[in-house]
Structure 1
C-alpha cells in the first residue's frame, strides 16, 4: 500500500511539473516561401550549433521548439540560398528564400528522376552553368562550348566549315566500329546527333582510294549544333558507366544532360542581346618562295617563263589567300522573356544566327524558337513543357579528300601563283592548266547546302501521391519527341571544268538527299523518400522506359543534266539509294539511395534493356551500378576552425552498353541486273549475325574531393578503369562462305585515366574578385584481348600511316612501313591519344568590369598529315625548299617527304600539340544605379563588351590547324588530314539589355 502511494505521489509530481517543462520550451512557427511566393516544402530548419531541427511540410509550414531564446535558426533547401535568421522570442517567423544559381549548379543527376547535392555525389560528374557556356563569348555551336572546361573530354573540330562538325569523346576510346559519341538528353528528350552525308563522294570518288569510308569524308555537320547555347541553363556530363549506367544500352560513350532555362515567378523580365563581328582563318600557310631557278627545276622552261612574266606584270596571285582570306560577317541576335506567378511560369526565347565563312559562298544560318512552361495545377500536381523549333541552313563548300582532283583543297595543292584561274569580264573561268578543276570556279559555282527543320518537345508530370512528416511518394511521367527533316542539295553544273564530257565529266551532277528522323521516348517513375528517426534517408525509385527510333534517308544521284536544270528528273541518268532504320528499346530501372545524415551516401541500382537491335529482342541486358561516398568532415575531420572545410572519399562502379552498328544483325542485299536485263538481288559481302550482342562497358572509379578555407579552394581527383568487353569487330570469312566478312563480338578494350580539377577564389572583396579554375586529365588505352587477326583501320594504308588494332597496344596507335619494323611488319610512329590535356580558366571582376579568358593546352597526340604530301607532289608546299627535315641536310622538306613515300611513313605523322587562347571576353555592366531613370527606370542593366574565340594559337604542326579529321567524328580515328576547310578565329562586339 505504501509502495502504491509512493508511485502515485511520483505520478502526481510529474503531472504537476510537465506543464512547466512544456512552458519552458519556446515554440517558433512560421512559413517558408520563395521570392515568387511559392511554398518551399521539406526545407531544413535547424537550431544553429545543435542537432535540434525539423523540416517544413508540403505547404512550407514549420514548428520548432527551442530551449532558450534568443536563438539563430538556419533555413536551407536544395536550390535556395541558405539563410541564418536571429529570433529574439517565441512566435511566428516567416522566411523568404532566394533561389541560388550556385546551389543549382551543385546538383548532379543520380537517377532518371532524381538528383543529389554535389557534396554527396560519389561520381566525378562535370557541370557547366549558363555563365560557363556563354559568359565569355557565344560559342559557334553548343558542343563548341565544351572545349577545355572540364576534365575528361576530348573535343575535336573535324572541319572549319561553318555550322558544326565537332566530335566529343569522354574518357578515351569506347568502340572501334560502333558509336563513340555521347548520348545527348535535352530536358528529358533523347535528341539525335547524327552526321548525315550529302553524297559528295559521288563526285569526289573519296572511297576509291585506300579508304572505303566515302560518305564519312563528306564534311557533314552534326545535329547537336542545332541547339541554341543561349537557351541552356546548365549541362551535366556523365563521363563513364559508373555514372551513366542509368541510361543503359546507349550510355557507353557517356551522357550529356542539357537543361534549358525556365521561368521564375515574379515580374516579367526581358533580355535582349546583339553581337556582331567577323571570322578569319587561324593560320594560312603561305606560298612557296619561288624564283626562276626553282620554277625551272620543278616545272620546266615554259613555267619558268610564265613565272617571270607574271612577276614582271604584277599578276602573281596568292590563291590560298584568294580562297581562304575572306572575313566572314557574324550576326547573333537573342531575345527572351520570363516570368509568371506561383502557379504558372514561362520562358520564351527567339534567336537568329547568321555567320559567313572564310570561303566565299559558305556560311551558316539558324533560327531558334523556344517556349518552356511550368504549371502547378494543385499543390500535389505539377506539369512542365519544353518546346523548341529550329531552322538551320548551312553551305559548306566542297572540301576534304578526293580521288578525282575536284575538291577545292585538292585543286589548290596543284595551283601556282602564275596560273591564270580568274574569271574574265564575262564570268568565264579558264581551265586549270595542270589539274582537273579550277578551285575558284568550284568555289563560285558548286552548291553544297543543307536545310533542316527540327522540332523538339518534351513534357513532365510530377504527382505527389503522399506527403508525410518523414516520407513521400511521387509519380514522375515523362515523354519527348525529336523530329527533323534534313534536305541536302549538291549541285555541280555542267559548265565546270571537271563536268565537261571532253574532260571525262558527267555533264552536270545533281545529288539530292532527304532524311526524315523521329525519336520518341516515354518513361514513368515512382520515387519514394523515407527518413528514419535516426537521420537515415532512403530514396527508392523504380521505373519503365521506352524509346523508338525511326529514320528514312533517300538520296538521288542524277547525271547528264539538261541545260542548267537542277531537277533530278531533267537528267539523262538517275540512281536512287534509300536507307531505312527502325529500332525500339524498352527497359526498367530500379535504384536505392541511402543517406546517413550526409555522412555516408550509398547508391545501388540496375537498368534492364531489351532492343530490336539484338538477335533476341525480348532478352534483357542488365546494367548494374553501385557507389558510396564518405563525407569525412561530417564525422568531425576538419570543419569549423580548420582550413579543411570539406573532405570526401568516393568510389563507384557501373556498366553501360553500346548497340551493334546498323546492318550487323541481318544480311543485307542489293539490287542487281544481269547482262540480259533480268532483275535480282546480290550479296553486299557482310554476313549478318544473330548472335551479335551489345558492347559492354564496365567502369570502376575512385576519387577524393577537398574543400579548403570555407570552400574558397576546391580540389578533386579521380582515377578510373574503363573496360569495354564484347568489342564489336569485323571478322574475315573464307570465300567459300559466299561472304567476305561478318560482324562479331571479338575483343576487349581498356582505358585508364586520371582527372584533376581545381577551383578557387584567391581574392574576393567588395571591389575585386578573382575566380580560377584548372583541369588536367590523361587517358591511355590498350587492346587487352583480340579474337580476330590484327588489322589496319581508319586511314589510307601503311604507306602513308594508319591506325592498327592489335592486342597489347594502344587502340589509337599509328603505324606504317619503316626502316625498323616490328614482328608485325610495321613500325610504330605515334599515337592519336594526347599525353594530357589541360584547361586554365580565369575570371576577374573589378566593380562593374569583367575580364574572363580560357587557355587550353593539348600536349602530344599525333596526326597523319597528308596535305603536305599532296602539295609536295605538286611542288607547291610553302616549306618546299626549307631544309630542316632531312637528317643529311641536303634535301628541302618537300623533296625529302616525297623521297620517303614508299619507304617510311614517319614523315607523315606529326605532333598535334597546341596551346590556345580558346575564349576571352571583356565586358562592362551599367547597372540600374548608373542608368538612373532611363526609360522610366525600366532598364535593369546594360552590358557592353568584346570577345573572341581562338585568338592566340601556338603549335608547330605543319598545316592550318592540328585540330582536324578527314573522316568526321563518327570513330575514334580522328586526326587524319587531307586538304580540309581551315579553322577560324572569331571577333565579336556585344550589347545586352535586361529590362
Structure 2
C-alpha cells in the first residue's frame, strides 16, 4: 500500500511535466506581401488564451497543447489569418494589407465590439504611430489637431501646457458641455479647464469675476502622455455615443493604453531633443521722427516724442520688442523608458517618462513626469483581471497673455509700445516704467509668475468572468471603472515693484483644486450562436458616474515685499466653487449578426442626473443600427469590389443642465460688519430639463483592387432639442436672468474618407489616407430675443443665437445697421496622412490639413492699430488716402467687417523621417531607430495674426476669438529609440 501511495504521489508531481513534454513547439516567421518582417504580430491559439508576439525580425516561438487545431495571426493594418496546425511545426506566413481596415475591431457598446466590415457607425481610429510617431506634439490635446475627420479643433492659447477646444460634428450646446467625453482604459477622465484667477489683474471678464475663462487655462486631458497610448477611437455622434450616457453628449474619445503580452520582456528607451520657436511674428511698425510725433495730438507731447525718437536713434536704441518677448527659442527634452512582457497568465506594461520644454517667452515652459503600470492577469481560464495605473506630475508656467482690459498682458502692452521706448533694466536690474502702456512687458516677464501644477492619479480596473459556457452560448460578466483624482495648484504672483501694481502694491493669487471622479460599469454579455449563419450578442448593465470638484481661489493684494503667502497681505478676497454630481444609467443592447453580412443593433439607455430638475426621473435614450455587407452575400458577383456595405444608424443622447441651474442660490452680504445671505439675481428653474440629441447617420463603405483602395462616405443629421440658455427676465420679477430650455438646433454634414496603398513593392511601399468633411448648423426654434453671445457686441463683432440662422453666425455693424458678417463654421476641411517606406528601413511620414473658410473675430490687429504699432500702419491701400492704420480706427463704430476675417489655412502639421536598424552588432540590442521631425512648421494662410487656429475664450460656445494670444509655436525634433 505504501508503494502504491508513493507511486501516486510521484505521478501527481510529474504529471504537469509529462503534459508539458507532450506540448508541441511551433516556430515561424510573419512577413508582409513584400517579404518584410512584421514585428509585434499576434499569434494566438484558436479557442485558447495561449499566444505570443513576433519579435523585431518577425519570428515567433509558441508552445501549444496537442489538442490545438489552429493558430490565428493578426497585426494592426493587416488582414487576420487562421491557419490549421495539422502536423506542421514550422510556418512562413504572409499577411495581406488591410488598407480598408475591414478586420479592425471597433467599439459598438460599452462592453461589446465588432469588426469594421460589419460596423453601422462611423468610428475614427488613430493608431499610436499616427498619434506620436510622426512629429510628437507637446500634449495629447495638441496631438489630436488635424487628425479627426468631423472635428473642429482650435487652440485656446499657444502657452505651454496645452489647452484646446474640440467640437465633434458641430455645435452641440450653447451654455452646456461642448467637449467630448474622454475614456481612458474604462475611466471617465475629467477635462475641466480651471481658471487661475488672472482676471483679478487683467479685468478681462465682465464684473471682475476672478474665475473668468478668458485667462486661457489648460485642459486637464493634456496631462495624459501620448507615448503610452496604443490607439484612440472617436465616437462622434449620438448614434454611436448614446450608450455612454449624459457625459457623452458631445461625443466620446476612447483611449486604450499599451498592454503587455506573453513573451520575453522587451525594453525600449527613447530620447527626443528639439527646439521650439514662434510659428510667426507679426512684425513692428518702422518709426521715424514724424511717425513718432504722430503718436500724440498734443503739440508739446508730440515734440517730446519726436526728440525721444531722435535720441534713441542716435544711441542705437531702436528695438524690436515683439521679437524680444516672443523670440526665445526653447529647448525641448523628452525621455521615455518602457518595458513590456509577460508569462502564460500575466502580461505587464511599464513606462517612466519625463518631459521638460521651454516656451518662446522666457520663464515659461512645461514639465511632465509620468509613471504607468498596466497589468493583465488571468486567474483561471474563465476569469481575467486588468489593472491600469498612472501617476502624473505636471507643471506649466504659462505667462500672461490674452484678453485684457487693464493693459497688463504681454500682447496688449506690446500693442502700444513703439520701438524707440526704453524698457530694459539699468545696471542694478531696475526696470523703467513704460510711458506708452500700463506695464513694462520685459519687467512682467522677469518678475511675475503664472504656474499650474498638477498631481494626478488615474486607476482603472477591468474584470471579465465567463459565467456560463456551452457549445452555442457563452455568458460573461464584465466590470469596468476606476478613479481619476487630481490636485491642481495655481499660483500667480505679481510683485509690488511691477509697474501695474502701483495701486495694489503686489498681488498673490493662490488657487487649490481637488477633483475626484469615479465611475463603474457592471454588465452581463451573452453570445449565442444559433447556427453558423446566425449569432446574437445581448448585453445589459448599470453604470454610475460621480464627480466632486472643489476649487478655492484666494486673491491677496498689498502683499509684503518678498512674500507670496496670501496671509502676508493687507487685503484678501476668497471665492469657492464646489460642484458634485451623480449620474446613473441602465442600458440594454442586442446585436444580431446574420451570415456574417447583416448586423442589426438595437439598444436603450435610461439616464438620470442630480443636475436635472427631477433627480429621480429616468429619461430614455434609444439607439438602433443596421449594416448590410453585400459582398458577404455574394452581391455583386464577378465584381472588382472586395467589400460593399450599406449602413444606417439612429441614436439619442443627453446633455444635463449646468450645475446649480435648478436652484436660486444665496450670495454673501455684509451689512455693518454682520455677515448674511441675499437671494441671487439669477433665478433657478426646478423644472429644468436636459438637452436631448437625436442623430441619424447613413453611409456606404466599399473597397476595391484587392483591398488596396477603400472609401467611406457618411451623411448625418443631428438635432438638439431644448438647448439651454441664460435668458433675461423682466425687472418686475425681482431677478435678472434664468436658465431656460430655450430652443432647438440641428447640424448636418458629410464625411468622406479614402484609404489607399498606391505602391507595393520590395523597394517602396506607400500608404495614404485622405479625409474630407463639413458641417452646417441651423437654429430651428428659439424662444428668446436674439442678443450677442460670447464676444464684444455689435461694434467689434459677436456670435448670436437667432432662429433660422446658423448657430455659428457672426453679426455686427455693417455700415447700415446690424447684419451677418461671417460664420465661424468652416466651409470644409480636408486632411491627408501618408507614409512612404523604402526597403522597410527608411520611412517618410507626413500629415497635411486644409481648413477652407471659417471666420475669426480678429481683435489683435485692432489693438495694434489703437497703439499705433501695426506693421502695416503706414501703408495706404484704402480709397481715402489715409494710412491704413488710421483708416481702420475711423471705421470702429461704423462697421465691424474689418474684424471678421477668413481663417482659412493649409498646414503641414507633421512630417517625420525615420530610419530603422534591425541588424545590430550585439545580440542584446534588438533594434535602433533614429529620426527627425517638424511639427506645425509650414502654414499657408492670409490670416493676419499669430495663428488662424485660435480660440481665446476657452472651450465653450465661443470660438475663433483672437485677442493678442500667446503665439502658436512650431518645433523641430531629433529622435533616437533603442529596443532591448
- TM-score, normalization by structure 2: 0.91
TM-aligned CA distance change 1:97 to 1:208, over 3 Å: same
The equivalent residue for 2:725 is 729
User: Does the C-alpha gap of structure 1 residues 31 and 598 become closer, same or farther in structure 2, counting only changes over 3 Å?
Assistant: farther
Alignment partner for residue 961 of structure 2, among 954, 976, 980? 976
Matches within 5 A, 1:569-584: 569-584=567-582
1:41 to 35, 42, 47: 47
- Which aligned pairs between 1:58-457 and structure 2 lie closer than 5 A? 82-83=80-81, 85=83, 106-208=104-206, 215-299=212-296, 300-457=302-459
> Following superposition of structure 1 onto structure 2, how do residues 826-975 of structure 1 map, counting pairs within 5 Å?
826-847=818-839, 848-884=841-877, 886=878, 888-927=879-918, 929=919, 931=920, 933-934=921-922, 937-969=923-955, 971-975=956-960
CA contact (8 A) 2:855 2:901 kept: yes
- SS of the counterpart of 1:352? strand
Of residues 284-293 and 897-906 in structure 1, the stretch that sits farther from structure 2 once superposed is 284-293
1:76/1:394 CA distance change after superposition, 3 Å? closer
Q: Deviations over 1:374-421 (max 9, x none)?
A: 001100010000000000000001111111111111111111111111
Q: Is the 8 A contact 1:623 1:654 kept in 2?
A: yes
Q: What displacement does 1:668 show?
A: 1.6
**How many Å separate the matches in 1 of 2:79 and 2:863?**
61
Q: How does 1:763-782 map to 2 (within 5 A)?
A: 763-782=759-778
Contact 2:46 2:68 in 1 (8 A): no
Q: How many residues align?
A: 923
How far apart, CA to CA, are the structure 2 residues paired with 1:537 and 1:42? 20
Q: 1:75 to 1:494 in 2, by over 3 A?
A: closer
- Corresponding position of 1:486: 488
Structure-2 residue corresponding to 1:990: 975
Secondary structure at the aligned position of 2:306 is classed as: helix
Change (3 A) 1:356 1:474: same
TM-fit CA distance, 1:642: 3.7
Q: Please report how far the alpha carbon of residue 143 of structure 1 lies from its aligned counterpart in structure 2 after TM superposition.
A: 1.8
For the residue of structure 2 that corresponds to 1:922, the secondary structure is strand
C-alpha displacement at 1:78, in angstroms? 9.9
Q: Determine if contact 1:320/1:412 at 8 Å carries over to the other structure.
A: yes
Is 1:792 paired with 2:783? no
Match of 2:742 among 741, 746, 751: 746
Which residue is 1:566 aligned to? 564
What SS does the aligned partner of 1:442 have?
A: helix
| Cα RMSD (Å) | 2.4
How far has the Cα of 1:32 moved from its partner? 10
Q: Which moved more, 1:161-170 or 1:287-296?
A: 287-296
Going from structure 1 to structure 2, the CA distance change for 1:331 and 1:684 (only over 3 Å counts) comes to same
| Aligned structure 1 segments of 4 or more residues deviating by more than 3 angstroms | 29-40, 58-63, 73-87, 90-105, 211-214
SS of alignment partner, residue 707 of structure 2: coil
In 1: Cα distance, 2:489 partner to 2:130 partner: 33
Separation in structure 1 between the aligned mates of residue 239 and residue 936 of structure 2, nearest angstrom: 34
Distance (whole Å) between structure 2 residues aligned to residue 267 and residue 693 of structure 1: 55
Aligned to 1:523: 521
Choose the corresponding residue for 1:533, options 508, 531, 534: 531
* d(CA) in 2 for partners of 1:62, 1:992: 38
Q: Distance in 2 between matches of 1:469 and 1:896?
A: 82
Q: What is the CA deviation profile of residues 147-189 of structure 1, one whole-angstrom value per residue up to 9, with x for unaligned ones?
A: 2223101111111101101111100111000110000000000
Measure the CA separation in 2 of the matches of 1:764 and 1:97: 18
**How far did residue 682 of structure 1 move?**
2.1
Following superposition, the deviation at residue 85 of structure 1 comes to 4.5
Normalising by structure 1, what TM-score? Answer: 0.90
**Structure 1 110/213 Cα, relative in aligned 2: closer, same or farther at 3 Å?**
farther
Is the alpha carbon distance of 1:653 and 1:784 closer, same or farther for their aligned partners in structure 2, counting shifts above 3 Å? same
Q: CA deviation at 1:765?
A: 0.9
Whether the aligned pair in 1 keeps the contact of 2:97 and 2:707 (CA below 8 Å) is no
| Correspondence 1:699 to 2:699 | no
Q: Which residue of structure 1 aligns with residue 500 of structure 2? A: 498
For residue 321 of structure 1, give the secondary structure of its aligned residue in structure 2: helix
> 1:663 Cα deviation (Å)?
2.2
- Tell me if structure 2 keeps the 8 A contact 1:328–1:356: yes
| Larger mean Cα displacement after TM superposition, 871-880 or 366-375 | 871-880
Q: Is the 1:81–1:98 contact (alpha carbons within 8 Å) kept by the matching residues of 2?
A: no
User: Relative to structure 1, is the Cα distance of residues 111 and 60 closer, same or farther in structure 2, using a 3 angstrom cutoff?
Assistant: farther
| Distance (whole Å) between structure 1 residues aligned to residue 66 and residue 635 of structure 2 | 34
Shift of 1:76: 7.1
SS at match of 1:378: coil
Separation in 1, partners of 2:401, 2:446: 13
Please identify, of 605-614 and 323-332, the stretch whose mean Cα deviation from structure 2 is larger. Answer: 605-614
Comparing 659-668 with 520-529, greater Cα deviation is found at: 659-668
| Pair 1:805–1:36, CA change in 2 (3 A) | closer
Q: Distance in 1 between matches of 2:83 and 2:408?
A: 74
Mapped partners of 1:949, 1:119: distance in 2 = 34
Deviation at residue 790 of structure 1 after TM alignment: 1.2
The answer to whether the 8 Å contact 1:623/1:656 transfers is yes
Tell me: CA distance 1:30–1:540, structure 2 relative to 1, closer, same or farther (3 Å). Answer: farther
654-663 or 290-299: bigger deviation: 290-299
Q: Is the 8 Å Cα contact of residues 156 and 964 (structure 1) preserved in structure 2?
A: yes
**Distance of aligned partners of 1:673 and 1:213 in 2 relative to their CA distance in 1, 3 Å threshold:** closer
Q: Is the 8 A contact 1:36 1:342 kept in 2?
A: no
Contact 1:157 1:963 (8 Å CA) reproduced: yes
Cross-structure match for 1:643: 640
The answer for unaligned runs of 5 or more in structure 1 is 1-28, 44-57, 64-72
**Contact 1:431–1:438 (CA<8 Å) still a contact in 2?**
yes
CA distance in 2, matches of 1:623, 1:100: 41
Partner deviation per Cα, 1:174-232 (whole Å, 9 max, x = no partner): 100011000000000000111000000011111248x9896111110100000000000
Structure of higher CA gyration radius: 1
Residues 267, 914 of structure 1: alpha-carbon distance in 2 compared, 3 angstrom cutoff: same
Q: CA shift at 1:962, angstroms?
A: 1.1
Distance 1:606 1:59 in 2: 43
Partners of 1:517 and 1:222 lie apart in 2 by 13
1:562: how far off?
Answer: 1.5
SS in 2 for 1:584: strand
Q: 5+ residue gaps in structure 2?
A: 1-22, 28-39, 50-63, 297-301
SS of the aligned residue for 1:727 comes to strand
Aligned counterparts of 1:220 and 1:105: Cα–Cα separation in 2: 41
Query: What is the aligned partner in structure 1 of residue 60 from structure 2?
Result: none
Q: Retained in 2: the 8 A contact 1:585–1:611?
A: yes
CA distance in 2, matches of 1:36, 1:156: 38
